[in-house]
Structure 1
């Protein structure tokens, strides 16, 4: 662990970029690529979203990075003995280009982007927009966590060696994001509620633009 960040009654321990694999039963979680967001001198910023892989009874990819990540993503899957056809579910935590830039690689997967759940061109009824969870199975759930955009979701995985993991997209920018996330939020008040719920329930959070962090609750 690299450092601790106080957040009210929570303490976040920022993990190093070597701590990216979380084994479990029946599911394990791996961060394939750590996202980043770096301001530039001209007022622009360079950014790419975190890409995470959940493996177990089903193979679930959470966020696909930007279109520029195509070759990296394919090679990362190949290194694990996988190709896009092995992915059962692909989740885009929200609709920004650095998170859904390679959806077209996964034509046979169930696709979840925000509150839309589709199997090819068939859109499945769900209650994400009503604040209800969409269950993949008893161990993996897709949870509405709006605020950064109007339809953000996160993926919760139970039963890992470190407890409950939340792959959170841009609900959290990074471990130490207390002074930055509000500037990027469509609705900070709503996002604050989503963040507090996440901190109440998750043991490890994988943010959209930085390494995972551990949550300790007082």
Structure 2
């Protein structure tokens, strides 16, 4: 069993995205980093509160136990249940806050935010210009929780998947995708199951 010194990455819900006739069905991956510190990455939509609460209880945690809420970017399917965690520090894209206090941190110039010696938030703009990814050092290797920098594993071989999901800068997104692929052993993408990086 992994102890407090080595965080455990638990994907609570796999994200998905599919186009129907007149609409799109989508929700993001939601990931628990079980520490301490305890971290939730991407809180899905505002309609997911009960299933998120239940998932935490199943992992012997409550909303009050969460120390950090990290949203890889500010789209509605990634921030919907942030309100469940009033005691946590919230990092939404490049913004860091707790209650009405906003902390200065220069993600824009590439500065990383260290959560612990095993958990770091790094700027990875592209999908939006304020995207971040969470890098976690675990017993099984480095896990990158990337939000929509990667939509799903299939977009490794088909660029049209991530490009069609929207990209504020395809050039930056390609650069940061490459960066993550070089550093990670596993990736939790924004709208698909976690996958192993084929080195």
TM-score (norm. length: structure 1): 0.86
From 123, 138, 142, give the equivalent of 2:117.
138
Asked if structure 1 preserves the Cα contact closer than 8 Å seen for 2:37 and 2:116, the reply is no
Q: Does residue 158 of structure 2 align to residue 180 of structure 1?
A: no
Asked if structure 2 preserves the Cα contact closer than 8 Å seen for 1:162 and 1:204, the reply is no
After TM superposition, the runs of 4+ consecutive aligned structure 1 residues lying more than 4 A away are: 22-25
Deviations 1:28-82 (A, max 9, x none): 100000000011012x211000000001121000000001111110111111121
Distance 1:112 1:181 in 2: 23
- 2:144 maps to which residue? 166
Q: How far did 1:186 drift?
A: 1.6
- 2:12 maps to which residue? 32
From 71, 75, 84, give the equivalent of 2:54.
75
Bigger share in strand = 1
Q: How far did 1:119 drift?
A: 1.7
Q: How far did 1:23 drift?
A: 5.5
Distance 2:19 2:13 in 1: 19
Distance 1:117 1:176 in 2: 32
- 2:171 maps to which residue? 189
Deviations 1:154-203 (A, max 9, x none): 10001x23200001111100001123101221211110011000001000
Q: Does residue 135 of structure 2 align to residue 156 of structure 1?
A: yes
Cα RMSD for the two superposed structures: 1.4
Distance 1:189 1:117 in 2: 26
SS across alignment from 2:37 = coil
SS across alignment from 1:195 = helix
- Where structure 1 has 5 or more consecutive residues not aligned to the other structure, the ranges are 1-21
- Where structure 2 has 5 or more consecutive residues not aligned to the other structure, the ranges are none
- 1:216 maps to which residue? 198
Count of aligned residue pairs for this structure pair: 194
Q: How far did 1:135 drift?
A: 0.5
